[in-house]
Amino acid sequence: MPTNKDFGSRAHHLSQVRGPLCAGIDPHGALLQHWGLDDDLAGAERFAMTIVEATAGSCAFIKPQSAFYERFGSGGVALLERVIAESRKAGALVILDVKRGDIGSTMAAYAQAYLDPASPLAVDAITVSPFLGTGSLQPAFDLANAHGKGLFVLARTSNPEGKQVQMAKRRDGKSVAQGIIDEVNEHNGDAEPMGSFGIVMGATIGACASEGEARLRESTYGITHTTVRQRDTAHDLSQFNGPILVPGMGAQGGRPSDLPRVLGAATNFAIPSYSRQIAQPGPAVASIRSAVEALQEECRAAMGE
């Protein structure tokens, strides 16, 4: 079981021991079909618990996407509770991908649902959305501090549509994404070895945006591109002192070699997240484990570990 230290310390230690990779457990209908399972609660349970068995004892981070469980109603939420419990029992840190964001008492209730140790859905960290202003997330920051939990705030996401909002310029000249990065980092201060409050930065952005976005568009929409686009990012992570969740890896087009180009000096804080690429070799547990081991080594090499 994870210790009672703050999330940043636990995440840093466990990534050093097990590697930086985050295993997503997303019972997507297409993946269930790929495994020969029905797209129902029983199929989702077989899928999710198989991946827990294959990854939770060796990966530092497990990331269930809540929506893929919620779609099955109360039974799906109960399955999510089991995935969380079994993953934490195996020593992994659980990052629940819920992207919550609201104001006042509603945000406080969301925080209590996932960050209060007394909750059946309690995890080590959650993803949150700052669209209502980073300050609206204060109840989550407060509860996370109280219980040694973490947050990952959406900053620059892997979907191409995100650029329209995230790269818009504020009155101070910063992009919206950079403003979020800086505001989140204020909560980390000089924490050692790193703070508990992170950001979400998609793998398909950065200096390799033209290639990465082309891969993303091709895998998602079937659109191919050959035109080299002008670099579309201007984020500065040189002072950032927290974990960086990096989705968009694998099936969405991101590669381990993209990490230094996207994150620069903050590459060592990366938590590269894979879901489909881990699940596709299944349902054999040994095949999933082999895929995880190979990806873990690729990520370590790219991050200079």
Which pLDDT score is estimated for 5? 87
Q: The whole model's pTM is what?
A: 0.91
Farthest-apart Cα atoms in the chain, separation: 53
Which pLDDT score is estimated for 210? 43
Query: What are residue 23's DSSP bridge partners?
Result: 62, 274
Dig out the tokens for 208 from the structure.
Answer: 């390799």
What CA–CA distance (Å, rounded) separates 43 from 29? Answer: 9
Catalytic residue among 5, 89, 99, 149: 99
Which pLDDT score is estimated for 30? 97
Per-residue pLDDT of the chain (305 residues; tens, 9 = 90+): 444 589 999 999 999 999 999 999 999 999 999 999 999 999 999 999 999 999 999 999 999 999 999 999 999 999 999 999 999 999 999 999 999 999 999 999 999 999 999 999 999 999 999 999 999 999 999 999 999 999 999 999 989 899 999 999 999 999 999 999 999 999 999 999 999 999 999 998 854 444 444 454 455 434 333 333 334 556 999 999 999 999 989 888 899 999 999 999 999 999 999 999 999 999 999 999 999 999 999 999 999 97
Which pLDDT score is estimated for 231? 45
| Residue 45 one-letter amino acid | E
User: Under CATH, what is the fold of the domain 7-302?
Assistant: TIM Barrel (3.20.20)
What CA–CA distance (Å, rounded) separates 195 from 11? Answer: 10
Which pLDDT score is estimated for 206? 54
Q: For residue 99, indicate whether it is catalytic.
A: yes
Which pLDDT score is estimated for 224? 39
Do residues 51 and 282 lie in contact, with contact meaning Cβ atoms separated by under 8 Å? yes
CA distance to 59, 62, 80, 249, 261, per residue, from 283 (Å): 18, 18, 19, 21, 34
All structural domains of the chain with their residue ranges: 7-302
Which pLDDT score is estimated for 251? 81
Dig out the tokens for 156 from the structure.
Answer: 């620059």
CA distance to 18, 116, 123, 184, per residue, from 119 (Å): 27, 6, 9, 25
E strand residue ranges, the chain? 22-25, 61-64, 93-100, 125-128, 150-156, 197-201, 244-246, 270-274
